[in-house]
Amino acid sequence: MIKTKFDYNKYLRQNTLPHIWCPGCGDGIILKSLIRAIDKLQIKKDDIVIASGIGCASRLPGYVDFNTIHTTHGRALTFAIGIKMFKPRLKVITISGDGDALAIGGNHFIHAARRNIDITLIVFNNYTYGMTGGQYSPTQPIGSYATTTPYGNIEPPFDVCDLAKAAGATWVARSTSYHALQLDKLIEAAITHQGFSVLDVITNCHISYGRRNKMKSPVEMITYQKEKGIPVRSAENLKPEELTGRFKTGLIYQKNDAPEFCAEYQKKLELLKTK
Amino acid sequence: MIKTKFDYNKYLRQNTLPHIWCPGCGDGIILKSLIRAIDKLQIKKDDIVIASGIGCASRLPGYVDFNTIHTTHGRALTFAIGIKMFKPRLKVITISGDGDALAIGGNHFIHAARRNIDITLIVFNNYTYGMTGGQYSPTQPIGSYATTTPYGNIEPPFDVCDLAKAAGATWVARSTSYHALQLDKLIEAAITHQGFSVLDVITNCHISYGRRNKMKSPVEMITYQKEKGIPVRSAENLKPEELTGRFKTGLIYQKNDAPEFCAEYQKKLELLKTK
Amino acid sequence: MPEETIIITNYKACDSIEAEIKPKNKLNIKTVSGMGKKGKVTIDVIVNYCKGCEICVYFCPEKVLAMKKEIAEVIDISKCTKCNICEILCPDFAITVEE
Amino acid sequence: MPEETIIITNYKACDSIEAEIKPKNKLNIKTVSGMGKKGKVTIDVIVNYCKGCEICVYFCPEKVLAMKKEIAEVIDISKCTKCNICEILCPDFAITVEE
Amino acid sequence: MANNIKLMQGNEAIAEGAVIAGCNFFAGYPITPSSEISEYLSVKLPKTGGVFLQMEDEIAALGAVLGASLGGAKAITATSGPGMSLKQEHIGYASMCEIPCVIVNVMRGGPSTGLPTLPSQSDVMQVKWGVHGDHAIIAITPSSVNESLYETVRAFNLSIKYRTPVIILTDEIIGHMREKVIIMEKDSIEILEIKLPSVPPEEYKPYNYLSGKVTPLAPMGEGYRYHVTGLIHGDTGFPSQKTEVIQNAQNWLIDKIYKNVADIEKFEEFQTGDAELLLVAYGSTSRSSRQAVMMARAAGIKAGLFRPITIWPFPEKQIKNLAKRAKIILVPEMNMGQIIFEVQRCACNSAVHGLNIVNGEPITPDQIYDKIKEITK
Amino acid sequence: MANNIKLMQGNEAIAEGAVIAGCNFFAGYPITPSSEISEYLSVKLPKTGGVFLQMEDEIAALGAVLGASLGGAKAITATSGPGMSLKQEHIGYASMCEIPCVIVNVMRGGPSTGLPTLPSQSDVMQVKWGVHGDHAIIAITPSSVNESLYETVRAFNLSIKYRTPVIILTDEIIGHMREKVIIMEKDSIEILEIKLPSVPPEEYKPYNYLSGKVTPLAPMGEGYRYHVTGLIHGDTGFPSQKTEVIQNAQNWLIDKIYKNVADIEKFEEFQTGDAELLLVAYGSTSRSSRQAVMMARAAGIKAGLFRPITIWPFPEKQIKNLAKRAKIILVPEMNMGQIIFEVQRCACNSAVHGLNIVNGEPITPDQIYDKIKEITK
Amino acid sequence: MSGKTEIRFAGSGGQGLILAGIILADAAAIYDNKNAVQTQSYGPEARGGSSKSEVVISDAPIEYPKATKIDYMVVLTQESFSKYIFDLRDNGVVIADKELITDFSNAKGKLYMLDMVKSAREELGKLLGLNIIALGALVEISNVVSKETILKALLKRVPKGFEDYNKKALEIGFRLAKEVKNN
Amino acid sequence: MSGKTEIRFAGSGGQGLILAGIILADAAAIYDNKNAVQTQSYGPEARGGSSKSEVVISDAPIEYPKATKIDYMVVLTQESFSKYIFDLRDNGVVIADKELITDFSNAKGKLYMLDMVKSAREELGKLLGLNIIALGALVEISNVVSKETILKALLKRVPKGFEDYNKKALEIGFRLAKEVKNN
Ligand SMILES: Cc1ncc(C[n+]2csc(CCOP(=O)(O)OP(=O)(O)O)c2C)c(N)n1
Ligand SMILES: Cc1ncc(C[n+]2csc(CCOP(=O)(O)OP(=O)(O)O)c2C)c(N)n1
Ligand code: SF4
Ligand code: SF4
Ligand code: SF4
Ligand code: SF4
Ligand code: SF4
Ligand code: SF4
Ligand SMILES: [Mg+2]
Ligand SMILES: [Mg+2]
């Protein structure tokens, strides 16, 4: 799988580098994957809007040369919906941490999914509130530690993909920062999908999560992703007990014939015109 | 099925009657069912907390002689969680409209479900914002009309039960204000269940919903419930196309072995004591 | 509601926007007793609770009830089977069925 | 936090709390070229981008790389298969592999 | 009977004003007594290709409005007390990132759920201070249905010109009453359009603190790629923690409004020329006050009314001026005393009285006149 | 080396103060620079059987706190700017329903995301006016770590006594600095306990507007069944739209605080006896101000410092008194001018100057002293 | 009649009284070019609750928009009669339905009892249109706007196909009022 | 020494400098019964970013809590050296690591170059403890608190089993400093 050198510079705001993330933070790996996917799709930079909330992951937009909006904590999708509905020709991608997307932002998550609006949401799922120093998040595994679960977490985590699907998302997948090449393809597919697409990317935060959970280094954390991730297909052949502690990767759900929200709205407008 | 006269008075704050609801509003039918279920369970009135949000349905607590909290719009579950965690011996029941529970309150809905806390949520699902005069709600069917969908609704509705289940609720059921006796049993079971239980009750609001959707009278609306509701078991034998426009009633999902949040928290406290 | 059109529904909405504790109204109850299909039966309609929604009338399988001046009324108790449907479905605690 | 205990991790966090546009730093690039297992290869490490996370070193299947003073360095280019893993997994745009 | 005169509700007039101003985006969440605005726009906007969205809550509604505005929309939302409280974080974001938008608050009785269907004027101070952090705001309090319409047009203009959220702070009485509106010819109404910046994209800086001029906000998707963040940011829009940048950014948010007060402010004076007793009133209460002034004049009391139309920035200068003659000032408000704080500050050598009636009913001319008699005795 | 002296962080001291006050319930949502409070309580509360909850957002956090408080908990939440904006609706609910609770706001730079790790004092007015509708609030601004601890205890007491939310309004500097705290014997600290009402359930009315006394809030689940609503309600707790009830309810919310100012207020004066130049400062800025007073005194300037500890209700009477002598007043604040509005109102015949530095750094004694020299020249 | 007339329609939500007020205000303001302000009171939030619709009509500008001393009051429920009669002018006029209002314990002013419900049932076949009958009666009795004007204002707001029905209702109102006036 | 001493530890997050500051302040405030205030600066939000930990120690009460004129500065990164040297007193003292700081272009005051990283690597086997070495060096050079006091304060905050390790680190600091002082 030899590749020629990929030129990220075209998409980077180079004078903002080096980025703010800690050494070895998986967010940088995902950022690169996102750039490669967008490059593959050859979308005009002017036509891309990236909106994010607040958190480490949400710092991403600052580094890329698109129309970028670093909104408030948990609300990226609301801005995204506004601009997408007003200018449906734009490709709108939303970047959120797990806390951003699913704790404070959980309501916008399920409603964007319900509407099946053509926006791609990438959840940078590091099981923690990275930016505020490692409080537990709604995806943090039971029994693990955080600054606010000194005696071990007792809150069950969301399965981001299950939730997205039940709420109405029509394209749902999972990957990790380790599976960066799989991620390229999934991001590409997510952006291409006509409807609300949710990509749950398990990413590594050794600073706020790992070092409280016996994974002090980025390497340990990425190794965890490598070992625990299991492709959807392979998972099918395993018994439930073989799956405990593991998570499925790859495309988890797709529905192509569901009406997309912007398109439906445009149809209404057309109808009114002819009236 | 002859019954002796049931005495509601024991549970009613009689000097608040007649209640505020419009003639024929289904909310009154559900209120009566709730009273019967609680009576059946013989829970002490002092031990029951009823919390609600804002909306027609949410006016319910005012009429019953329990500990009652009429909170803010969408936030009933947050109050419920607070009091339940602090006094786990109390039975906490939350009453919400579809807008209250699933529009502005959607985030608390999924997080209460995720935590699997022993609270019962009854959603008075009338497909509309009754109290504010009939704007569309996140459960309103596609194509129907509301004051804010003068050209017909294009937003897909949530399936309340699917969403509850995916978010982590361990007891999920649906009924209607017509199926009042089934409802008695379901409310009883919901309260008895140890964990987060969600009961989606389709109820009739002819004022804000019906009269914009060719169901001007309570009778027409209740007839709709009678005709469209189909027991889970019967639904299994039907083809998908036979199910369009219909909804399943009865117990939809139950999981009994899942850890309950208050109990888990108490376990932690015990552990710390012994340390 | 841009171009106002005449929308007049025939419902009688509850006027009591005050949920403030009300002075204890004397209940105005209309009681009808008699022999129904399954024996002795008494039907009470609390007139000042009934809001005239017609639910009981429509869903009574035996046509025991009817609307009179927007209030439910027993018109033929002899057909009553004490099935209790009217009581269960009345949203307003306005009708009860007893032995 | 309550009873403070010594938690000292060995990471070097990024100091630039300013995301404000920075003066265009001259990139300090260390280039190593040579013949790898699959032919000619050039590996660039941008020294002032590398944060020393060790990911490339650890995940390089051929042990081409090593840490030197907390910066990644090519130690044996001859084993490089141009698999590109180091580049793909580097979170900091700090290492690239070219023909 | 002229065709351009219509009987309209205050809320409808706001919605119609938005349409006239070229509004092409609404996102909201229903709440009494503001819902008619969304209902009206749900009918109108789709007809002209605009977007009408009902969001999942008020926070989402303002988020969507800001997103759309970044795309170049003329966007509006409408709400009331509880919704206004929820919107505070996003109002701050709009101020900080200088994103134009119009926010309508039809005041009802508070606090909390309060009195959903009854009027009050108890959110006046919230409009200025509800957001965490320092910023300046423009807020307008119309007192008639006709004014509701035209002040909405002005609100859009101001929001674009100063790149700031503008709040229309009306009350349940003005919002729900119906009276005459004179629909003017479109040509005779000043309407500011959203334009692309005059500089090419390479030279575009979305903020410009030191120039003293408001840089136009380039609609996204038109070639001007920039970054928007609620963190303190420099001219480029990128976050900064440099002390000078922070102070400049803070100053700018205040100065761009306060240094342009002359352009922003609008008020009406009624019989103030020789007034020894000054009434300061806004919104529906100003109508009763006006009538009370007439009653007082009839009784030989030299009363006058100062009515701020732009309530924020507060017309300090005018009050200070009028207070030179008027040694007694009365501030009737349907709240427990809010704008009176501002009046006291500006007119501290006059006796400043409040008439604060908060009982779900509008303050009547009689009540005000009685108070006038009491304080002039 | 006494065992009862500890080096503590301001945020830790607040958390420890809560524990000492008997706090048994925390619900929060993390935010810089307040998170240490929750982290500390996540360790401590479970040890004593208390509840620690991290909720899905700030709105939920305060909702849970209010729910628990209705159950009889001594409950607290902690947040910072953006979170504070989100909590406004529930603060209003707590005021309206008279539910005790303590809310900590560790002020950071605003507006919007602003400067998450840097200090400011820019939420002072929000604390008073951020809620829609009329209500009164108690807010406390500690200026040392030791004070943070004991004022937290007092906050719990006040919240129970007056059945009201009490806000601890600290700033990033006080919140994050470490200094000595003297841990007193528990017996010597006044701690108010939550009690059942003295009347039997049949006679219990959860509100009592006309008595002038705060009725205790019966913990739910103990036999006192009552109704709580954010709608305007009468003594019984049930909603009402009667004009007298509305006005009584409104008056009560204001009066129960303002008529008890003497009990609630707390302040410190430093060298004010003969002060001709008065500094009014609170929180971390008061520390620099104190030092500046010493510098000024050393230079022969008769300076003094008035430091409100209870910032709301604002100590009007004291300022009015001091302003009789002090014809020059300086109000240094890490914001663009907030409390200065109050000072101007109370001391309108003095020259009231602001020193408003908002650049992410604390205001230094030198900066204040320079300003003193400038205005006394 | 002085320059200012205050009219109140009171009844329960859904009787269409708000609309009646709007049509009256429209007639006065737009077609008669007077000043007119219409206001109403709502139940909790905005759903159909009790309702009261007031119209102030004047030649001079109207400041305070609500009615304070009612000149004409049209009532369609017992409750609203008892509740709202208090601020009727001493020489004010009440137009009430004969069937719906039965207790006149605190009546004042001049009272016209009309068989509006009965006529609606008999002549229109349903109660839909009761508000228009009441409006017609008011106009006939008060003369606050002309019959032509009210008809114009009415027809503007009637959905297609319902013009005749509503016109008929209005005329029933005129007639019923004329009958009692002549009594 | 005047009544007030200002000390700054500057480096990158994770080097444990905040903790070093806390231990120092603890020693001064609790064990030496002086007044001491410790403050720090954070990166964005609160995650591990740059870090600066300051301690002001004084006999008199401390009003302004931050350092303004640094007496002693311990630096462990080049960036922090260049960034924070500006407010060192003219006669202030800098304690820097020999390996980590190489560019002294804007140096001022008195500079001690210590082989702290090297010693940590060689004698402790890892960098864990570098902050304690630096703390030891500071105490040795400044005498702002006694060696016994700092040891007590250190041990209070060390997790069980790590006492010796940390004590050793502290002593390395003492030694390294003594060596350069004697130079
Ligand atoms: C309204 C509001 N509440 C809280 C915060 C503080 N805050 C900032 S980032 C964050 C969570 C970060 O977690 P996540 O979204 O998972 O992103 P990560 O940093 O892990 O990438 C929080 C709670 C905030 N900025 N605004
Ligand atoms: C924060 C806030 N936003 C909006 C409202 C207005 N409001 C009151 S009830 C309601 C919706 C009612 O719908 P639902 O929850 O379905 O209850 P229903 O009336 O249909 O029973 C709304 C939007 C409010 N009271 N508070
Ligand atoms: S704290 Fe965690 S998520 Fe944030 S930048 Fe560091 S490693 Fe990445
Ligand atoms: S508006 Fe609808 S939901 Fe509300 S009381 Fe009336 S019928 Fe019931
Ligand atoms: S009990 Fe049954 S049969 Fe008898 S009146 Fe009621 S519904 Fe009819
Ligand atoms: S169901 Fe009840 S309220 Fe309805 S008509 Fe019958 S008795 Fe009356
Ligand atoms: S390209 Fe592959 S083999 Fe070569 S250095 Fe990188 S990871 Fe190692
Ligand atoms: S992966 Fe990148 S940043 Fe990490 S050590 Fe290698 S080159 Fe440096
Ligand atoms: Mg995260
Ligand atoms: Mg509903």
Evaluate: CB of D65 within 6 angstroms of ligand 7: yes
Contact between F87 and F132 under an 8 Å Cβ cutoff? The reply is no
More confident residue, B137 or D15: B137
* Averaged pLDDT, C9-36: 59
Residue of chain B whose alpha carbon sits nearest to that of C89: B29
Residue G43 confidence (pLDDT): 60
Atom of ligand 1 nearest to the CA of F30: 23
Q: Which helix (H) or strand (E) holds F363?
A: none
What is the pLDDT confidence band of residue A110, given thresholds at 50, 70 and 90?
Answer: very high
Contact between A191 and A47 under an 8 Å Cβ cutoff? The reply is no
Interface of F with E in 315-374 (CB under 8 A): 335-336, 338, 341, 344-345, 348-349, 357-361
DSSP 3-state assignment of F170?
Answer: strand
Q: Which ligand is nearest to the CA of A19?
A: 3
DSSP state of E215: P
**Could you tell which of A30, A70, A100 is best to mutate to test the pocket of ligand 1, judged by most ligand atoms within 8 Å of the CB?**
A100
Ligand 6 centroid distance, CA of C97 (Å): 13
Q: List residues, by chain if needed, whose CB lies under 5 Å from ion ligand 9.
A: A 97-98, 126, 130
Mean pLDDT score of chain F = 96
What is the pLDDT confidence band of residue G2, given thresholds at 50, 70 and 90?
Answer: low
**Nearest CB to F56 within list A103, A129, A148:** A103
The answer, yes or no, to whether residue E27 has pLDDT greater than 60, is yes
CA-nearest of H80, H75, H148 to H112 is H75
| pTM higher than the cut 0.95 | yes
Residue C5 confidence (pLDDT): 31
What is the pLDDT confidence band of residue D13, given thresholds at 50, 70 and 90?
Answer: very low
The answer, yes or no, to whether residue B198 has pLDDT greater than 90, is yes
* Nearest residue by C-alpha to atom 4 in ligand 7: D80
* Averaged pLDDT, C12-31: 55
Ligand 8 centroid distance, CA of D67 (Å): 9
Evaluate: CB of A131 within 6 angstroms of ligand 1: yes
Question: CB A118: neighbour CB atoms within 10 A?
Answer: 21
The answer, yes or no, to whether residue E149 has pLDDT greater than 60, is yes
Interface of H with F in 10-29 (CB under 8 A): 22, 25-26, 29
Q: Do C2 and E36 touch (CB under 8 A)?
A: no
Distance CA E80, CA E61 (A): 13
The answer, yes or no, to whether residue G35 has pLDDT greater than 50, is yes
Strand partners, C46: C29
What is the pLDDT confidence band of residue B1, given thresholds at 50, 70 and 90?
Answer: very low
Residue H43 confidence (pLDDT): 59
Residue B47 confidence (pLDDT): 98
pLDDT in tens, H96-124: 999 988 888 888 899 999 999 999 999 99
Atom of ligand 4 nearest to the CA of B133: 1
**Nearest CB to H49 within list D5, D6, D14:** D14
Question: CB A42: neighbour CB atoms within 10 A?
Answer: 6
Residue of chain B whose alpha carbon sits nearest to that of A154: B264
Interchain CB contact of H35 with F (< 8 Å): yes
Complex ipTM above 0.85?
yes
Evaluate: CB of E130 within 6 angstroms of ligand 2: no
Tokens 């959603």 identify what position?
B123
Contact between C97 and C63 under an 8 Å Cβ cutoff? The reply is no
* Averaged pLDDT, F114-121: 95
Residue C7 confidence (pLDDT): 27
Domains F4-188 and F267-375 share a fold: yes
More confident residue, A161 or H101: A161
Question: 3-state SS of chain B?
Answer: CCCCCCCHHHHECHHHCCCCCCCCCHHHHHHHHHHHHHHHHCCCHHHEEEEECCCCHHHHHHHECCEEEECCCCCHHHHHHHHHHHCCCCEEEEEEEHHHHHHCCHHHHHHHHHHCCCEEEEEEECCEECCCCCEECCCCCCCCCECCECCCCCCCCCCHHHHHHHHCCCEEEEEECCCHHHHHHHHHHHHHCCCCEEEEEECCCCCCCHHHCCCCCHHHHHHHHHHHEEEHHHHHCCCHHHHCCCEEEEEEEECCCCCCHHHHHHHHHHHHHHC
Q: A223: distance to nearest CA of chain E, Å?
A: 34
Interface of C with F in 19-38 (CB under 8 A): 19-21
G4-181: CATH topology is Pyruvate-ferredoxin Oxidoreductase; domain 3 (3.40.920)
* Nearest residue by C-alpha to atom 4 in ligand 8: D53
Evaluate: CB of A217 within 6 angstroms of ligand 3: no
Question: CB B55: neighbour CB atoms within 10 A?
Answer: 29
Interchain CB contact of F226 with C (< 8 Å): no
Ligand 10 centroid distance, CA of F204 (Å): 34
pLDDT in tens, E174-203: 999 999 999 999 899 999 999 999 999 999
Residue E3 confidence (pLDDT): 59
CATH class of E267-375: alpha beta
Ligand 3 centroid distance, CA of A18 (Å): 14
Q: E237: distance to nearest CA of chain D, Å?
A: 8
* Averaged pLDDT, C22-33: 79
CA-nearest of B99, F355, F231, F248 to E54 is B99
* Nearest residue by C-alpha to atom 4 in ligand 5: C80
Interchain CB contact of G173 with C (< 8 Å): no
Distance CA F54, CA F64 (A): 10
Q: Do D1 and F44 touch (CB under 8 A)?
A: no
Length, in residues, of chain G: 183
Residue extents of the structural domains in chain H? 4-181
Contact between A56 and A135 under an 8 Å Cβ cutoff? The reply is no
The answer, yes or no, to whether residue C25 has pLDDT greater than 70, is no
Residue C2 confidence (pLDDT): 30
Interchain CB contact of C69 with B (< 8 Å): no
More confident residue, G41 or A176: A176
CA H87 centroid distance within chain: 16
**Could you tell which of D50, D70, D74 is best to mutate to test the pocket of ligand 8, judged by most ligand atoms within 8 Å of the CB?**
D50
Which residue stretches of chain D are H helix? 55-59, 85-89
Atom of ligand 3 nearest to the CA of A20: 5
pLDDT in tens, D33-82: 999 999 999 999 999 999 999 999 999 999 999 999 889 999 999 999 99
More confident residue, C4 or F8: F8
- Percent above pLDDT 90 for chain F: 97
What is the pLDDT confidence band of residue G160, given thresholds at 50, 70 and 90?
Answer: confident
CATH superfamily, region E4-188 = Thiamin diphosphate (ThDP)-binding fold, Pyr/PP domains (3.40.50.970)
Q: Do A131 and H46 touch (CB under 8 A)?
A: yes
- Percent above pLDDT 90 for chain B: 96
Q: Which ligand is nearest to the CA of B100?
A: 2
Q: Do A62 and E228 touch (CB under 8 A)?
A: no
Q: Which ligand is nearest to the CA of C37?
A: 5
Contact between H50 and H16 under an 8 Å Cβ cutoff? The reply is no
Contact between F296 and F322 under an 8 Å Cβ cutoff? The reply is no
Q: Do B20 and C14 touch (CB under 8 A)?
A: yes
Q: Do B104 and A107 touch (CB under 8 A)?
A: yes
Ligand 6 centroid distance, CA of F322 (Å): 70
* Averaged pLDDT, G172-180: 95
- Which partners does chain C have (≥3 C-beta pairs < 8 Å)? B, E, F, G
Residue H13 confidence (pLDDT): 72
Atom of ligand 8 nearest to the CA of D49: 3
Contact between E171 and E283 under an 8 Å Cβ cutoff? The reply is yes
Residue A274 confidence (pLDDT): 80
Residue G50 confidence (pLDDT): 63
Interchain CB contact of C18 with E (< 8 Å): no
pLDDT in tens, F339-356: 999 999 999 899 999 999
Size of interface B-F (CB pairs under 8 A): 130
Write the single-letter amino acid at A200.
Answer: D
Q: E237: distance to nearest CA of chain F, Å?
A: 13
Residue H121 confidence (pLDDT): 92
Q: B123: distance to nearest CA of chain G, Å?
A: 19
Contacts D93 to A, Cβ<8 Å: 8, 12, 17, 28, 32
Q: Which helix (H) or strand (E) holds F6?
A: strand F5-9
* Structural domains of chain D ordered from first start: 6-98 (3.30.70.20)
Interchain CB contact of C28 with B (< 8 Å): no
Residue G181 confidence (pLDDT): 83
Ligand 8 binding site (Cβ under 6 Å of any ligand atom) = D 45, 50-56, 72, 90, 92, 94-95
Q: In what order do the strands lie in the sheet with H50-58?
A: F5-9, F178-182, H35-41, H50-58, H4-12, H70-75, H88-97, H110-114
pLDDT in tens, E228-278: 999 999 999 999 999 999 999 999 999 999 999 999 999 999 999 999 999
pLDDT in tens, G96-133: 999 988 888 888 899 999 999 999 999 999 888 999 99
E and B touch with 3+ CB pairs <8 Å, answer yes
pLDDT in tens, F148-181: 999 999 999 999 999 999 999 999 999 999 999 9
The answer, yes or no, to whether residue E207 has pLDDT greater than 90, is yes
Residue of chain D whose alpha carbon sits nearest to that of H14: D9
Contact between B22 and B200 under an 8 Å Cβ cutoff? The reply is no
Where are the strands (E) in D1-99, listed by range? 29-36, 39-46, 65-68, 71-74, 95-98
* Averaged pLDDT, H16-24: 93
Percent of chain D as helix, strand, coil, to the nearest 5: 15, 30, 60
Contacts E31 to B, Cβ<8 Å: 132
More confident residue, A53 or H80: A53
Interchain CB contact of E182 with G (< 8 Å): no
Ligand 7 centroid distance, CA of A221 (Å): 20
Distance CA H114, CA H101 (A): 10
* Structural domains of chain A ordered from first start: 22-273 (3.40.50.970)
The answer, yes or no, to whether residue B123 has pLDDT greater than 70, is yes
